[in-house]
Structure 1
Amino acid sequence: MFSNTAFRYMPYVLLWTVVSGALLYYYLTFSGAFRVPHILLTRANSTSGRTAATTQTPAHANRSLMTTVNVSSVVTQMAKTLPNHTVTSAVNFSAAVEFLPDMEGKNISAIFLGYDHKFDNSAIAKKNPYGIRYKGKKRKGGKPQEILCALKKNIIKFLDPDASPYKEIGLGRYITNLTLADVFPDLFNSCAIVASSNFLVNSSLGQVIDKNHAVFRFNSAPLKGYEKDVGTRTTVRIINTPVLGRVKSKNYTNSMFHQGVFFLWRTGPYNGNLYRWFMDRSAANFFKSYMQWQETYPDVHKFLVNPGSLWRQWDTVQGFTPKNLKKIGVSSGFVGLVIALQVCREVNYYGYVTPKGKVYGCHYYDKPNSKSCNSTFHFHPLAQEKALVMSLDVRAQNKSITGEDGIVTVPGFSTITCKGDRTATKRH
């Protein structure tokens, strides 16, 4: 039997037990001693309908990961500062950042928002989601040399591991520190860019395409079964947001994803704000797929295009177009051309500019009545892009119509001399 004294102190004993237990839980949770194992997170994500992380050994082993709950909490906090029409949900976004290293002792929200406040984001609105503020001149066309020099002045650039705010939160480890000159130490004499247009069906251009020193292709355009028309070789692939976001981790075993050099791009804010680019509602699947791919094949060269430099190409197209362009970025086709001009002495573009400007809405590999037919034309300023590229065809003589055979030849940046070349010719 307990004495009255024992009963008198029982409430204090219980209180001490509860408080000490809470303190112990708090310490274990926030000191990093207690974490949800990554394999449990992976299984939980898989059963909840989200793509599971790759099961292969990570390229950067022995690093701890944030739990999905912590990430969701941080993202929810950051999302409150952004317009609803631009930000992804916390649940979807957390799937993309499971690969972040341990952020203990760092306030992710403060890092991102401190960076964000350096930009004037007032132009970003529902009717102008990218916050476009073009202040340059607008005129109809120009001389080929003038247009090429404008493109060369604003060459496409790529993210590096030290780019803020990614360096501060650990995302820099997924970004290559190589430059174009590292991967392509010598310029290619001739390059083929193969559009995915169904103009190429029955074109018999395959052998002509393969004679080029390098071949550029787009997204997941296949070769098998189409070799006669599109060739057999691939040196570079240009991949955009929707395509990469739809890729499942198991598909990285496909040779398409571990052979060649890859340039990945997605449109971001006009002002180059990488935080808004990272938080955009279409970003979650893109970043998660990219990180899984980097984990699985770290030795495959992958360049992330700096979204701000894409808009400088848009500025160039707008500068040589008298009417206002659509408030959306340039197409993969135009991105691929400008990248090729940076590493090739001559670029032969197949199926981009077509005879008499005829529109070919489907891909060469699409089935009849495919949903992807004509989808591209609703988004990018393709007509204006193609008009600009057509004017650059060096084979055009005496103002004759170019592209009659579906081929346009453009001289590379290294072959022309422009004002300020000392800085412009550097291959980033």
Structure 2
Amino acid sequence: MNPWRCGMLVLVGILGWTLLLFLYFSWSIDSHSSLLLAVVDTGQVQFSARTLTTMRGQNDSSVQRQVRRLPPAMMLPQVNKWRRARRPLDFEFFSEGRQAVHALWKGQASADMLSFRLQEAKKSYTGINLHNVTYTGSMVAQRGTQDLLCQLKRQQLRTVDGTEEPFAKLGWRQLVPGKPLQQLRDTPYRTCAVITSAGALLRSSLGKEIVDSHDAVLRFNAAPTRGFEDHVGSKTTIRIINSQILADSYHFASSSLYKNITLLAWDPTSYSANLEKWYSKPDYDLFPAYVERRRSSPSQPFYILHPAFIWHLWDVLQNNIDEDIQPNPPSSGFIGIIVMLSLCEKVDVYEFIPSRRHTTLCHYYDYYHDMACTLGAYHPLLYEKLLVRRMTETSMDDLSNNGKAVLSGFSQITC
């Protein structure tokens, strides 16, 4: 056979197989898009408490993946397969978002640096405006560290104290702890650690530093320590839990994660923070489990964050960003940082601003990968991290190499 003809046949064969593989890959991505779009804590697909306790290398018959899908209106828009086909190297779901992360180190990140999918998610949630946000304030992005900390300090930490309706008529004044959260034993703490659940903590070997260097340690939701002590330590002083945890009453009542520590729960309301409407229709019904725990363990400090406090933090976020942020409440991580700034003289925040260790892994204790867990889809995570970057004097090199942002507590700030 003519060598030239033979070469052409080989080339055509290679191109044909390449096209078939590309089409198969494109179909595979589309057929699994609903799974790939599932993002923990983005409001898209929300996992129950048992999902959050799924741990690497541990067998527990009570630990099962349970996925509860929100109504279709809350699902992110499907990415058009032909538009994605023109981006063969973008890989929306597994992009590590390097541009946005590097910009965060410099304090200069914006939504334009997000992947196409996350930009579309942001637009979708803005259009839905699930919580009826009607922000009328200004947007200023030039505040320095001191001014920003003073602004946050003025948003005084507030919990449900039983004096407002409908809680007053339900007898909550006698149900909630007698002392406010700010008067916990040993407060103000001298040094505190906020341990995010970021996948970058896996193999970080920070456990000894976390335990030895801090008077109090804050953790989130059902993030475990057992089996991960070398990387995240073993000490827990306060745990912030979202209402999904309490809605799974069996898990909450039986798990040791929520015993012998201070608990701080929260649940989103509409922007108006109407308590009557909130109590009658919470996002997840946290109230029965709260009442049961307070009655069975009255000595355990257990508080519910006031919804108005949460939305005041959102206002500060929007006020300090010169572009529209998602009209959804801040993440547990950002809320936790502000809480600890109210309770501690110095706060070390681990892997909220991603270090060079960052990957697409959502949590150090599970196997789910999606950059939305780091840069946000439902929560305004990108902007929260940008604000924390502006609040810290930690150098860019220290942030990028160590993933630890050092913040001065509100008690150390003169305003």
Pair in the same fold by TM > 0.5: yes
d(CA) in 2 for partners of 1:384, 1:375: 11
* Mapping for residues 242-257 of structure 1, pairs under 5 Å: 242-248=244-250, 251-257=252-258
Higher relative contact order (CA 8 A, sep 6+): 2
Match of 2:317 in 1: 317
Provide TM-score, normalisation by structure 1. Answer: 0.63
Match of 1:275 in 2: 276
Tell me the SS of whatever aligns to 1:303: strand
Structure 1 residues 373 and 326 mapped into 2: Cα distance closer, same or farther (>3 Å)?
closer
Return the offset for 1:346. 0.4
Tell me the amino acid that sits aligned with residue 222 of structure 2: S
Return the offset for 1:361. 4.5
Tell me the SS of whatever aligns to 2:265: strand
Counterpart of 1:225 (choices 214, 227, 242) is: 227
Match of 1:394 in 2: 393
Return the offset for 1:287. 1.5
Match of 1:195 in 2: 196
Match of 2:364 in 1: 364
Tell me the amino acid that sits aligned with residue 203 of structure 1: S
Post-superposition Cα deviations, 1:30-75, rounded to whole Å, max 9, x if no partner, equal: xxxxxxxxxxxxxxxxxxxxxxxxxxxxxxxxxxxxxxxxxxxxxx
* Mapping for residues 164-313 of structure 1, pairs under 5 Å: 164-211=165-212, 212-248=214-250, 251-280=252-281, 282-284=283-285, 286-313=286-313
Q: Does 1:408 align with 2:405?
A: yes
> Is the CA contact 2:268–2:282 (under 8 Å) kept in the aligned structure 1?
no
d(CA) in 2 for partners of 1:245, 1:362: 22
Return the offset for 1:281. 5.1
> Is the CA contact 2:393–2:407 (under 8 Å) kept in the aligned structure 1?
yes
Post-superposition Cα deviations, 1:384-406, rounded to whole Å, max 9, x if no partner, equal: 0001101222222xx76734311
Match of 1:4 in 2: none
Return the offset for 1:378. 2.5
> Is the CA contact 2:211–2:235 (under 8 Å) kept in the aligned structure 1?
yes
* Mapping for residues 321-340 of structure 1, pairs under 5 Å: 321-340=321-340
Return the offset for 1:238. 0.6
d(CA) in 2 for partners of 1:179, 1:155: 12
What is the percent sequence identity of the aligned residues?
28
Return the offset for 1:169. 3.1
Tell me the SS of whatever aligns to 1:234: coil
Return the offset for 1:371. 9.5
Q: Does 1:377 align with 2:376?
A: yes
Return the offset for 1:355. 2.3
> Is the CA contact 1:269–1:308 (under 8 Å) kept in the aligned structure 2?
no
Match of 1:341 in 2: 341
Return the offset for 1:359. 5.9
> Is the CA contact 1:205–1:228 (under 8 Å) kept in the aligned structure 2?
yes
Post-superposition Cα deviations, 1:137-178, rounded to whole Å, max 9, x if no partner, equal: 112242000110111011331111222221113344432232
Tell me the SS of whatever aligns to 2:341: helix
Tell me the SS of whatever aligns to 2:386: helix
Tell me the SS of whatever aligns to 1:148: helix
> Is the CA contact 1:264–1:304 (under 8 Å) kept in the aligned structure 2?
yes
Tell me the SS of whatever aligns to 1:159: coil
Q: Larger radius of gyration, structure 1 or 2? A: 1
Tell me the amino acid that sits aligned with residue 204 of structure 2: S
Tell me the SS of whatever aligns to 2:376: helix
d(CA) in 1 for partners of 2:374, 2:321: 23
Tell me the SS of whatever aligns to 1:322: coil
> Is the CA contact 1:361–1:373 (under 8 Å) kept in the aligned structure 2?
no
> Is the CA contact 2:361–2:368 (under 8 Å) kept in the aligned structure 1?
no
Tell me the SS of whatever aligns to 1:341: helix
d(CA) in 2 for partners of 1:192, 1:146: 23
Q: After the TM superposition, which parts of structure 1 deviate over 6 Å for at least 4 consecutive aligned residues?
A: 370-373
> Is the CA contact 1:162–1:172 (under 8 Å) kept in the aligned structure 2?
yes
Return the offset for 1:272. 2.2
Provide TM-score, normalisation by structure 2. Answer: 0.65
> Is the CA contact 1:158–1:304 (under 8 Å) kept in the aligned structure 2?
yes
Match of 1:353 in 2: 353
Tell me the amino acid that sits aligned with residue 350 of structure 2: Y
Structure 1 residues 252 and 388 mapped into 2: Cα distance closer, same or farther (>3 Å)?
same
**C-alpha RMSD of the superposition:** 2.6
d(CA) in 1 for partners of 2:403, 2:388: 12
Tell me the amino acid that sits aligned with residue 239 of structure 1: I
Match of 2:14 in 1: none
Tell me the amino acid that sits aligned with residue 223 of structure 1: T
Post-superposition Cα deviations, 1:182-229, rounded to whole Å, max 9, x if no partner, equal: 323531111011000110000000011112111110011111100000
Structure 2 spans left out of the alignment, 5+ residues: 1-72, 74-125
Structure 1 residues 207 and 401 mapped into 2: Cα distance closer, same or farther (>3 Å)?
closer
d(CA) in 2 for partners of 1:300, 1:264: 13
> Is the CA contact 2:374–2:381 (under 8 Å) kept in the aligned structure 1?
no
Tell me the SS of whatever aligns to 1:264: strand
Structure 1 spans left out of the alignment, 5+ residues: 1-84, 86-124, 419-428
Match of 1:147 in 2: 148
Tell me the amino acid that sits aligned with residue 178 of structure 1: K
Post-superposition Cα deviations, 1:356-379, rounded to whole Å, max 9, x if no partner, equal: 69564511111x347998499321
Tell me the SS of whatever aligns to 1:354: coil
How many residue pairs end up in the alignment? 290
Structure 1 residues 247 and 141 mapped into 2: Cα distance closer, same or farther (>3 Å)?
farther
> Is the CA contact 1:258–1:297 (under 8 Å) kept in the aligned structure 2?
no
